[in-house]
Chain A
């Protein structure tokens, strides 16, 4: 985030004479009172509701905690077990595939449709609502049941494929090789949320730029790469960061489509699904907490990479 680099720039530029240091510190703190006042609700929430439980979960990661009995300190044992836990490694693999395939796919579709829908056209509101509907339903049990059925060996998808002449004998949902892809597809189907955010971002691009470009005879692609992309980049960045964070924590869709099992054969055992099973089904909440903090490290690393890379392609007006 440029704010972070901005702040560090302020700190970097000076740091010479005590006079400059004082001025820079004053600059950094000039809105102290207002800043903390505006931040107050969030700070209260952080301290009362969030920080305590977060630190508690960190503590729990060093314990053996069954939820039913009090936690028992075991030091780094949970973390050690994670190194040899094959199912955990598998869940990391499943999650990484999901994150790095479904996120770009979903965002690309969302952006494409948003661009399509941003132009004046008939039935715009209708299409927008239609494309957003799956996001509203996405995590529901009812849809998951249907999704399972559609991808069974004699389900709708195979029936359509057979009509088209393919010899469709694969059970997309029952075969460990393919089950993950049905969930990736489910995720891409719910592109409505990032699409809405893209639309909102597109709304904020002043029209005069496009008009000026049109006057200059610029074609669609030129407009897209020189106006839309740069001015939309803060929103693209936001969607990218948050969809990746969310994708790493994807739970509900895998849970409902696999009926909680992560099957077949752990092929849809996402990291947080495995975490949930360890914590709530196998009563190993200490281990689950350790898994959670490992995930935080992984997500933080990728988010930091995202932020660092953003300096090179995100264009902020301020």
Chain B
């Protein structure tokens, strides 16, 4: 568990993964080609199965409402664009308003989680302090209690603080590491980082803060990227919390706004809802596409001093 920079030094090792037999053989054989081809075929088939529902969603967003539920197929003969143009203006504000609201909440949530969860994780994983196991167990306990029974007392707390109908209840808890999932995630990652690096830094005279910021954080790239991506996606799709804390429609986030298209008793505007769902999926998808790179980088470009 010593020199991690051999990965850089060899260079011959592809950044994208451990090398199979290529290290020994001279160039790919027909067996490798066949293997690769089969793999691709399977993967493409699996991909189609995986994204069929999304493709249906996109196709349906181009169909008028009375046709959507009669057509399970993917082929759309006439592109019905009104779902997009009307859907954007169908609610009390242009849909862009809700996307902006969600963006504000999400950025705040990511900042909060990254700030607070990394700190807490470092403490649990690397520091020796009294009652550490107790606090860790309590932290895990907070994940185990179903949120439906905590929602009302929390609402009362936030109401007495005067924060109902603001974004505060949606963002502030993240700065206080209430997403214990990410604390635990980062703890596991940090525990995979060799302690020798800490020792080396300490010998160099670094205090805990320096070790945390100069040594740990750079090495936690995948964990940080994972946290950011998951926070983004979960906060973006969170429905219940914005439902109860946001009363003014102008402040609604995307999931609440999307739900406004539905009316089980009188007929929902599924076409518009699908259209706006597709529109809001695009940022999610882009974030993941872009953020993947950080998952990949890992410790390949960092390594020891």
Contacts and interface: CB of A to CB of B under 8 A. Distances in A.
Interface string A265-290: 00000001001100110000100110
A217 B53 CA distance: 44
A305 interface: no
B279 interface: no
Contact of B128 (A29, A215, A300): A29
A163 interface: no
Interface string A281-318: 00001001100110110011001000000000000111
Contact of B54 (A31, A41, A133, A147): A133
A141 B176 contact: no
Contact of B184 (A54, A200, A205, A238): A238
Nearest to B262: A141
B274 A142 contact: yes
A289 B149 contact: yes
A125 B208 contact: no
A39 B180 CA distance: 12
A116 B39 contact: yes
Contacts of A318: 191, 193-195
Contacts of B95: none
A241 B236 CA distance: 24
B143 interface: yes
A215 B188 CA distance: 30
Contacts of A67: 152
A174 interface: no
Contact of A131 (B50, B119, B137): B50
B61 to A, nearest CB: 9
B24 interface: yes
Interface of B is mostly: helix
Contacts of A133: 50-51, 54, 285
A133 B56 CA distance: 13
A46 B18 contact: no
A52 B157 CA distance: 9
B154 A234 contact: no
B91 interface: no
Contacts of B206: none
Contacts of A125: 289, 292
A188 B176 CA distance: 32
Interface stretch (B8-16, B80-88, B97-105): B8-16
B217 to A, nearest CB: 13
Given A48-B176, A137-B281, A280 B17 contact: no
Contacts of B148: 251, 272, 275-276, 279-280, 288, 292
B29 interface: no
B176 A4 contact: no
Which of A27, A120, A131, A189 has the most chain B CB atoms closer than 10 A to its own CB? A120
A39 B119 contact: yes
Determine the interface band of chain B, counting residues with CB < 8 A from chain A: 35 or more
A13 interface: no
A83 interface: no
B192 A36 contact: no
A292 B285 contact: no
A38 interface: yes
Contacts of A155: 72
Given A39-B120, A200-B223, A318-B195, A32 B130 contact: yes
Interface of A: 1-4, 7-8, 25, 27-32, 34-36, 38-46, 48-50, 52-54, 56-57, 60, 67, 116, 118-125, 127-137, 139-143, 145-147, 149-150, 155-156, 159, 189, 193, 196-197, 199-208, 210-211, 214-215, 217, 220, 223, 231, 234-235, 237-238, 241-242, 245, 248-249, 251, 272, 275-276, 279-280, 285, 288-289, 292-293, 295-296, 299-300, 303, 316-318
Top 5 A-B residue pairs of the complex, sorted by shortest distance between their CB atoms: A45-B176, A35-B129, A203-B298, A53-B153, A200-B222
27 contacts: A32-B130, A34-B208, A35-B123, A44-B176, A45-B116, A45-B177, A48-B157, A48-B176, A50-B150, A54-B142, A57-B145, A57-B153, A125-B292, A131-B46, A140-B237, A146-B53, A156-B72, A201-B192, A202-B17, A203-B222, A206-B7, A220-B20, A242-B185, A251-B148, A280-B148, A317-B193, A318-B193
Given A4-B136, A116-B43, 8 more contacts: A31-B129, A119-B18, A123-B40, A207-B6, A207-B7, A210-B18, A288-B148, A317-B194
